[in-house]
Structure 1
Amino acid sequence: MRQFVGSAHCPEPTCNPRCARSRDMAVSIRKFTLIWICLGSAVLLAFYILLNSLLLTQTFSGFAYVTLANNTVRVANFLDEEVQKLDDIIVDWAVWDDSYQFMQKNKPDFVRSNLNDRTLGSLDLAFIAFVDNEGRIVWSASRKADDAFAPQLDEAVRDIILHQTTMLRPDDQEGRIRGIASLHDTFTIIASCPISDSEGAAPKLGTLVMGRDLTEPIIKKIEEKTRLRFTLADHFDSAPLGRQVQTEHLQTEDSELAVHIYDTNESTLSGHVKLKDITGAEALDLIVSGDKEILKLGQSASLKSSILLICGGFALIGCILFLIERKVLRRILSIKSQITEINKTINVFGAKKDVTISGDDEISELARYISLYISQITNYKLNLENLVKERTRRLQEKNVENEKIRQKLEEAKVVAEQANKTKTDFLAKVTHEVRTPMNAIKGMNDYLLSTALTADQRDCLTAIKESSDHLLTIVNDLLDLSKIEAGKIVLETIDFNLKSVIESTTRLMLPLANKKNLELVTLLDDSADVVVRGDPARLRQILLNLTNNALKFTKLGGIAVTASATTDATAGGYEIAITVSDTGVGIERARLDTIFEPFTQGDDSTSRKFGGTGLGLSVCKQLVGLMHGAITVESTPGEGSSFTVRLPLAQGDYNHILARPDAAKGREAPLDRLMILVVDDNPMNLRVAQKVFSLLNQEPILAQGAQEALTFLKTALFDMVFLDIEMPEINGIELCRMIRDGVATPLNKDVPIIAMTAYSLDTIRDECLACGMDDFITKPLDPQVLYEKILLLHQNMTGLCRYEHGASGQPEPDTPQDGQGNARTLHSELALLKLGGDAELYREVCEGYLEKYNTQRIDITLVQSRPEADKLGFEIHSLKGLAQQLGAEKLCAVATVIEKTLKNQEPCEDAAFARLLDAARETEQAVTDYLARARPKAD
């Protein structure tokens, strides 16, 4: 009791760190509240001041910028007025009978009486020129430095009149050109007008051109009118001073002007606008200066409003702090001090045990609740100490018990892991020890069967082959069951044709059925001819096990394999149902529940009578489960059994099947003689390999051990290497790494390497592939498997397949230069195969071809018009794609040649298009004939 109470209160401030932290926390509430109120108010006030200043600044600056932009446009308008003045003068002189007669050379005294220096000076002209319709200057005069006029024109003026403008166009009698030109160090107003009689009805006899310098007095006059200072500069020679702060777009009578405002210095703004010169180019830069008085007024207003806001904000913050301190913080601190006093005197009889506070609000109500809780806590703490002691004792006992259980579980886990490792090692050793002698037995047996034998010898060897195959089946079933239970089996996911897999699997069992005089039939629904995605090897294994069981337990009658596929709209695939039925001995009903368990058969006499281990059905059930399917059985003793497998399989891609190399058709095509190295430490295995390879028209080089293999690999270039894994000194994994490293065997660094071992566990396979090997086969060597591996690797290595795959995934034959070779005009059978046998769809493709690419249209759109290369390439590519889908091999081949020529940016000869037309005619005729044959006949 005393220990618990002592830990609950603190008579001295330093007796307990928790009490000290509570005291500091209570004091910090006041600081926290005051600091955050001040900080929040200051941030809000600063934000408001900043926003107010920003708005005022933007308003005043915007007004200043718009004012300067308007002033800039005003100056530009005054410059236009100066140009207009000269234009008015030149009209009076050009549309005048005297000027017209002067150009007709009928007024010889015109120059003396009208174009003297006094007259030209009164007009304030810089130059004047009469130009005839041929562009010849009839008469001209230019002001010199002494204000006298000389008869020649400046070269820059001549260039503007004759070349840079269109003022001399003979067909432009009414057109007048006027504007400002930059001539040397001055700007000159230039105006032109066609010369005609006073009525303006006579034909144009030339052009009158006048120029007036934009002198300092004219500029001063404009500045006095506008009360603005401005500068006119050549756009290519002027550079703005300061940074650009605004761009204003103002609409004038003729066009829209973009005025760029620049901050020149502390007291000046400048407005820049680009003006067109006499040639029509924006080559002049008008710069108008303005002061910053409006901006300074805005800054002053912003400063004054900010000061007022700051003063008001501080007054508001002070009032808020005073109210919070008086109404909230002081009363909370009073509650805290009373609780501290109660904590000090909690064990003193008669001491104060409640908290009192003045007022009738939430804080006073909080004080009443605290008083209530203090009295309840005083009562609860006595019971709590006893409860804690009891719970502590029980937890200690439970911890001791849990520790004992944990130790037992750890020991059981170690024992289980050791047992599993022992099981895995045992299976690996068993398979290796069984497969190693079986390699010699099966390999030599296959070789002997290929030689000349008597009937008796062949029967004996056939019996040996069947027995060895049976033994391998048992070993494989054991391995599969072990891998499934360990969760180490990995399912393959590829596209395959369901019907083809079922039919090929059934054909494998036909020899056994014929030997027992049993009928083995395959009844496949039309829906089974679909392309699905899954593991065809495991599906084939399931079918082989079920069919083999049916043949084993059937003496009379036969076996039927049926299959169907229904579309699963929910999963986007198919629901596959495969049934294997027989007329055999059947299974007792009591045994149906255990028939799929390992090492279980129909009854005890079944194993003695028919043989077998009872593993096949168990492996089937496990594999079907991995594929998320189900297997069921129905059986009647004496009548037969029926096993049904249901699997959900995704929809596959037919093009992937067409593009996949088909090395599984058997050894129909002989292999080319290759340089093959076989490495094994066992002489018997080397002899077996030599015999098996000889069946495939190969004479491999044999290396007994890794050292001998390295000797061969250093001096000769090999096409592929078959490598045993378990070898003394240097094993197969280490030898593969040495080859791939390339230091010891640079000639064969990239040679295809196939692992060859009696182990068949996935861990060994993964290790082989990880070290750089290309493939993996298990002993005993199977000639068919060996043939497939060699063919596949050799195709990948040398590109023996003379096809290149197009966009559709179909092979395109390697054609000669004319693109046709031995291609067929219309291969409708292959096209139907691509379309899944849909004849109606193929007819629509044929009709679409005749509508879009008939011979006449190809001739007009592609051959005669001969469009640009890009468009032609697109059309040829479209024609090629439709020809592929149609099965028009000859047309496709010719289009391919033309397409390649266009891609290489080479010219297409006329002969190529002639071949295209010939192929199109033949294709059109063939398609027309096909449609005539395929169209339904009338009754």
Structure 2
Amino acid sequence: MTKYGLRARVYTLTILPTLLIGVLLATYFIYNRNQQLQHFAIQQGIDAIEPLAIASEFGLARNSRERVKEVININRRKQSTQIHSIAVFTANNQLFVTGSYHRSLGLLQVPAGKPLPTSTQVIEKPDYIIVRAPIWADSEDSFSRYTSGQPELLGYIALRLDKERAILLQFRDTTIAIFIVCLGIILSMLFAYQLVRNATRPIAKMVEVVDSIRQGRLDTRLPNDEYPGELEMLKTGINAMAKSLAEYHEEMHQSIEQATSDLRETLEQIEIQNIDLDMAKREAQQAAKVKSEFLANMSHELRTPLNGVLGFARQLQKTPLNTEQRDFLQTIENSATNLLSIINDILDFSKLEAGQLNLERIAFHLVDTTEEVVTLLAHSASGKNLELVLDVAPDVPTGIYGDPLRYQQVLTNLIGNALKFTSQGYVVIYVNARKQVANTPFILEVTIQDSGIGIAQEQQEQLFQAFRQADASISRHYGGTGLGLVITRKLVQQMGGDIQLESTPGQGSSFTFTIECEVADIALGDPLPMEKLSQQTLFVYEPMSATRLSLEHTAQRLGFRLVSFDSSSVMLNELCHIRGNKPNVLLGMTAEQSTQELLEEVQRFSQLTDNLLIAVVAHDSESIRQLIYAGATHCLVKPLQYRKLAAQLVDHTPLKESQLPLLDPHPMPSHYPIRILAVDDNPANLKLIATILAHRVTAVDCCQSGQQALEQLQQHHYDLILMDIQMPGMDGIQTTAAIREHYPDFSTPIVAVTAHASAGDRQRLLNEKLDDYLSKPVDEDELIAVIHRCCPTVIGSIHQPVERLSPPTETTKEESSNHDGYDWKLALKRSANKPDLAKEMLQMLKASALQLPDEIEKALNGQMEEAQLRQVIHKFHGGVAYTGARALEKLTEQLETALLQGQPIADIEPELFELIDACQALATISETVPTPSTN
């Protein structure tokens, strides 16, 4: 329905036409009647005045006022009701005679200065009409008054007619017209009312019935009253519709009951299925957990022997070997390295698939972090005579927030992939910053471009699929699992970016990835001497265009002036014409260029500059010595590191003999001038650490509790503190916090020593103000690496980059050498290959094993809580870790892990009894170190 109802519409459509027609007719009738009355009054005046004008001629011609007045009075008596006044005027416009005097006689007179009327003249006013008619001397008696054949104007007669009667007639006619219109409207309203009564009442009844049906009362019907015309048909239709709805509602109710019954049965079945699915889900989660544990265990089980193979292969290469033996060892090392890389890829892929790989968000130096990866891979590039270039755009921020470890992993995978599939040419890494849009994170774009074999378009889709490579023959020729790019893509996507590939077969490939970052608002890295650098000028001859562009960007970032040349002879000629301060000179060496050619270049340029820098492709100690002796100031290894380049531009002092690289590629200092404090509650751990460091550092102090460590710090200054985490009373974290609190300016590095070094535990330890961590059992190389990382200013620069420690690995499960469950070879390795120390460590373990069963009995009898038992097991586990008791070490580790997870003593009771039996069996092990057998 619209805004207006049916009743209003009927009234409107009935009354409005009648009203409009009546008003229009009445208006026409009144207007036409007024015009008729007006015309009639004027005509009546004309008909009265013209005979008077003729009749007045005789009296006016003879100047007989009585004769004219008599004529006027006779006429006025006949039409006294219409004529208000009448007068005759002479030709001089002077009053001649009037029927009676009135004040308004002046209205009858022609205004002065206007001509007299020569014909009948009518003047209409709102209340009266003035009629003037000329009086001519045209009778027979007036012939003498003719002039030039025309009658003479004797004067004129004027009369005034009142409109009162006409107005009364107009009012009467208007009243009658309005009355007729009102009568028509009333009759229309009567007809409309009757129509509404006969039509709207049935319709209103129908509306009530329909509304009742809408509310659910389907038994409502219209009465059997007689309705006019189509309303009867509508009544019949509504009743039929109500009947159909009632029948449909009944059928629907029955269908709903049936559907409800079926739904109940379905819900019961779904509930049963949900229970089955829940059980299957738990089994799947348990299987996934078992899978993760299996992968972790496999990681430990596989990495340990591989690390052993790699370590001993590298140690064996330092011994005198013939060419064939050295080749065999190199093959063993390469195979083990490849296998370790495959294992790492599989473990990373499994973590990504399980969604267990969490990204860190810490501030790191972008350029330094990128250079670390490129520097580590530079050796692989130089081995294949490839030019490796790092080009960082000047507008790239130095510090960002993100995960540096995963960023380096992505770079390592892509650069390593490019190096693997490139046999000649170059690999260039471009680091750019996309324009930042308002309210969006910073976008970092890295492109790795190579001149390798390239990839066909139809094969590019398979690159980012697990265990797939572009060509089936690639894995056989180049090796690999096909997981590197899959892991890279998932890591990039997890960092909020994407990776793209552009490649042409035979022309190389270009991988570009983007990640979302935030610019770090804190200063990172060591400051550079920017003021001194701005005063430096560097002349560069570099055949490789990509390297020249990289140096130009480095110059823009560091602020020094760079002049590059693509010809050494042109640069030599330019230097010869320079007088005064000589600029710095950098000569770039290509992979095809021989050392002799470069020596000749050095001899020519060394006389023209005070600071001659050489950029070599590989770190060859003998070649560097020859270049320094020939006149070079410093030798830099490609790809150039901007910090080393900045240092050499500022410092022009040539290298001394003692500063030249040693011919031994792996120098290792034998004694460090530092003092170390070792804190551990296990005497075996303390003895092993002290023995390992006895010939490495100046002094080692040992203490068995956090309180003793605080007392030692009051007496001595230490360069490094090795802190056990789990100790009775004050543990390692509490001791570290107490040290930081009591000594606000304390700068000595504190390294956590723990047997549980998972990713989460390690991050938690670093968050507790610990500087580094060391996993048990303590390995000599790892311990030396920690000393290098934490005390670089004390022991000097590190000769080779040391990676972060890998997660703790389990020992191999090969058969024991002497006794079931004890491996003397492993015991010797863990005691720094000192048989006396190995035997002493075994004696201390036996002494601890004699006391452990009594402690376990107390726990089984309820006399010891889980926390106390965990401390006992942890202390015993620390002692076992430095011996060769493999089975005992694994059993104690399982028990400690279970107690850390909150398992009650009752659940691990079988393992505790097994530990008691293992302690009793330990007493039968001989303390004689076996002599290694020879074949």
TM range (shorter): 0.3 to 0.5
Query: TM-score if structure 1 supplies the norm length?
Result: 0.36
Larger Rg: 2
Query: TM-score if structure 2 supplies the norm length?
Result: 0.36
